[in-house]
Chain A
Amino acid sequence: MRGSSITGLLSAGALAAMVMGSQAMAQEDTIKVGVLHSLSGTMAISETTLKDTMLFLIDEQNKKGGVLGKKLEAVVVDPASDWPLFAEKARELIEKDKVAAVFGCWTSVSRKSVLPVFEELNGLLFYPVQYEGEESQRNVFYTGAAPNQQAIPAVDYLMNEEGVERWVLAGTDYVYPQTTNKILKAYLESKGVKPEDIMVNYTPFGHSDWQTIVTDIKNFGSAGKKTAVVSTINGDANVPFYKELANQGIKAEDIPVVAFSVGEEELAGLDTAPLVGHLAAWNYFQSVDTPENEAFIEAWRAFTKNDKRVTNDPMEAHVIGFNMWVKAVEKAGTTEPDAVIDSIVGVSVPNLSGGFSTMMPNHHITKPVLIGEIQADGQFETVWQTPGLVLGDEWSDYLPDSKDMIADWRAPLSCGNFNVATGKCGGKGVN
């Protein structure tokens, strides 16, 4: 704990001694894997689980004999939900600990903050969370969903199955919701939705008084057209939002809410009985009925010694990303970043929903898209899913300045923002 500086110093010293000791002893026989997730601060609520997931995966892999005949060793650091600290810790992991790959980050702002570090030091980052797209970087593998793997199918579902004509785009005020809503707005307008039928609303992080906004949504929904809410509300603000929805009597049958940031973990803090029927779009649900998933949940619960522990989508993304990395390293025969970057494209591993996910040349992966409805037991029930796998589209086709862009990290193109119209690499979002 951080209460006393003396104890802090002492324990830091002890830790350093331990780390150095183990380094000296184990330098030759282990491959180090960095885990860069906040264990304190506001994001700890979501990211701690991912740290546990990584420890679990590494443990499982070691039981199978490790990688390239060596055991894996996790190096866990705590960037404390502090964005600049993410960059610092990433540098520490690559330079000091010499990790072969890093699994980490949650918020887009933390990813943006570590990008230059990974580029400069040529590290590998596996990023497991759904994000706004408009990015493809040589050293980063995006195992979460791009907007076309989550937001767009969800909107399609509402439009086709529920006949929604009026849209509320509600989000937390930061880069992911804003970019996603920009894409969605362009997409909806391209489908013939009039601008007056779209209401965009932003709220601060951790917003807890939703009375006015829920009333606004109710009023917006009483214009005689079927209305739905597309929510990119993040983390903590969701619980009071859903409570207010339930208390004001907004039922999913009348105004459904489809959320992109609400998973099993977020629902754990809620009584979901009044929320039955509200939706979420992900690439994985704990309730997915496949033998792979069942085995995974069982092993995960055994590892955490908690038979109620839930699983969620970013966890599955880490499972896929980690297995891809293991496979790519074995294919390349080394953990050298350059070799892994070359060998990982095209690597295919089973995902937990019964199919295979493949790493594509744009460093995004193929995934199925599932739409689930909240159930009274806090789980989601899949009510619709894409017939096949969807390839992550890094540069949205619906934004005017990114529709000509593609990313392909294979030689000879080897570019994250190739403009098809001008035939040049670069131009936008040089990261």
Chain B
Amino acid sequence: MILLRVLGLALFFAFAAGPTVRADEAELRAIVAEFAEAKNFRETEAVARRLAGTGGPAVERVLAALSQGDLYVRKTDGQVFIGKEAGQAIDLSDPLTGAARGKFGKTDVAKVKVNNGLRRALRDLLGALTLSSGDEAARLAAARTMFRNPDASAIPALDAAIAAEQVEEVKMALREARAAAVLRSDMPETDKLAAVGLVGARGDRDALSLLTAFAMGASGASKEAATAAIAGVDSRLALWSAAQDVWYGVSLGSVLLLAAIGLAITFGVMGVINMAHGEMVMLGAYTTFVVQNVVRTSFPGLFEWSLAIALPLAFLVAGCAGLIIERGIIRFLYGRTLETLLATWGVSLILQQAVRTIFGPTNQEVGNPSWMSGGFELGQMSITWNRFWIVVFALAVFAILLYVMKYTRWGLQMRAVTANRRMAASMGIRTPWIDALTFALGSAIAGVAGVALSQIDNVSPNLGQGYIIDSFIVVVFGGVGNLWGTLVGAMSLGIVNKLLEPYAGAVLGKILVLALIILFIQKRPRGLFAPKGRAVEV
């Protein structure tokens, strides 16, 4: 109660002090003007610190602008402004009031330079300033920043903030931030022990980092407590890291699945060794690039939907390319494996060079929509959104494809032609068209995969080459002619690869996986799910 009253009093004074801060505008301006004279990052930081020391909301604006690199000095008179880039010009505004001050050319102003160290310092300063912000999210963010970058001198400010805080979540974050700061301070042992307990209870990487740093400089009971807490956090993290590896395996497996599933149809079902499969993936990725370009220039509001727009288009583009390849080349070569291999390899080179000629050899930028960027924490696992959606997408594609093969007329015809071509033909199925459509479907699926892969890989003419070998391995490993085999094959390869990687490294891990596959194929030449019955002979 007393605290509340003190707080009320403090608030009253804060409001009462409002006008005086405004009265000090001249002083603020004088400090802001010093940014123009700072010769290096240390001097800029000193100016920023003095500015932060004055407090007040206008300071926040200046410091935020500085940390984003939006603070400019006008060359003619050395005045400091906040600037926003607008094409070739820069919109200047007053650093304190935010009032517009007109457009200037890029050569008329010089940016106040910022580097990582300065940005870090500004983040801490802003954290302290926003600790009493009215916005709950801002306070929480400030508390978390202060937890990661503890500073003993912030303890009084944190104490005040904890006392004033009403929201339980923010209060907890503030307490943790305070505990982190206590670990860095020279406060008595008992305080430190309590802090170790509080930090250790978090049990995450940040806590581990703080405790390890603390244990290095500590002695006596607090060191013991810290070491025990570190051991506790470590054992918890070990479990999570195993889960994390499995998730990474699933994620890699779904990428393999996406790349291989089209091939499971052309190679698995039809028996065509299609070396141009990777290029179908590439076509899909480039379709995404073109769609995003059109969206960016003509319909910027649709950017979040660009992938959804690209999906059917990539399906069509790659499908048509597949259809043309089948009708133009492959249908003359059925049953002649070696010739098919060489011809499709030629096609893959033609497609690569064509894309290189049209779009240039450099990587093209395909942006991630906001729902594909960043990540989230599940316990101590960090899962990135783009990987998460790709797993979902790969499974969806798999399910749809399975449905088409099992329950549609077209799927039935496809399976009939594969099982016994002559019998199927005598039943009135137009086998050449089924061949063409099956090949087109396989290619189209590869194109759809390209849309997804454009989100995690380079969009360059070489995109497909990176996936073709892996795709063949997955299909052969899983068992030719079996979609389930492809799913299981892709997932198990992904998981084995990712479980090996932390121990063997990426290079050796890959070699080990290949060696395992060779041994496996020796034992089971037809893969995990060997086809049975007459289909084997065809």
Contacts and interface: CB of A to CB of B under 8 A. Distances in A.
Given A208-B466, A222-B206, A268-B365, A249 B374 contact: yes
A224 B209 contact: yes
B362 A268 contact: yes
A266 B251 CA distance: 26
Contact of B350 (A2, A49, A224): A2
B361 A373 contact: no
A48 B382 contact: no
Contacts of B510: 204
Contacts of A254: 148
B245 A212 contact: yes
Given A203-B507, A247-B373, A277 B363 contact: no
A211 B385 CA distance: 12
A100 interface: no
A218 interface: yes
Contacts of B462: 42, 45, 206, 236
B210 A224 contact: yes
B362 A45 contact: yes
Nearest to A48: B361
Nearest to B494: A209
A266 B458 CA distance: 10
Contact of B123 (A161, A253, A375): A253
Contact of B458 (A218, A265, A269, A381): A269
Contacts of B113: 381, 383
Contacts of A3: 346-347, 349-350
Of B211, B241, B361, B367, most buried by chain A (CB within 10 Å of CB) is B361
B115 A269 contact: no
Contacts of B98: none
B95 to A, nearest CB: 20
A42 B356 CA distance: 11
Interface string A6-48: 0000000000000000000000000000000001101011001
Contact of B252 (A39, A209, A253, A268): A209
Nearest to B251: A211
Contacts of B248: 209, 211-212, 215
B232 to A, nearest CB: 15
A222 B350 contact: no
Interface stretch (A119-127, A238-246, A351-359, A412-420): A238-246
B356 A40 contact: yes
B116 A252 contact: yes
Contact of A222 (B111, B208, B346): B208
Contacts of B213: 223-225
A247 B350 contact: no
B103 to A, nearest CB: 18
Interface string A252-286: 11101000000001101111001011010000000
Contact of A243 (B456, B465, B502): B456
B75 interface: no
Interface string A366-386: 000000010111000101100
B212 interface: yes
A290 interface: no
Contact of A206 (B116, B208, B209, B466): B466
Contact of A244 (B69, B214, B384, B465): B384
A62 interface: no
B506 A1 contact: no
Interface string A387-409: 00000000000000000000000
Interface string A204-229: 10111101110110110111110000
Nearest to A206: B466
A334 interface: no
26 contacts: A1-B350, A2-B350, A3-B349, A3-B350, A161-B41, A162-B116, A209-B251, A212-B248, A215-B244, A215-B248, A218-B205, A221-B209, A223-B209, A223-B212, A224-B211, A236-B460, A243-B368, A247-B384, A247-B385, A253-B123, A266-B363, A268-B362, A277-B115, A376-B69, A381-B111, A383-B113
Interface of B: 41, 69, 85, 111, 113, 115-117, 119-120, 123, 148, 205-206, 208-214, 216, 241, 244-245, 248, 251-252, 255, 346-347, 349-350, 352-354, 356, 360-365, 367-368, 373-375, 382, 384-387, 456-462, 465-466, 498, 501-502, 505-507, 510
Given A204-B506, A206-B462, A236-B462, 14 more contacts: A2-B349, A2-B350, A40-B353, A48-B360, A162-B117, A204-B507, A207-B506, A212-B245, A212-B498, A218-B205, A240-B456, A247-B385, A248-B384, A269-B364
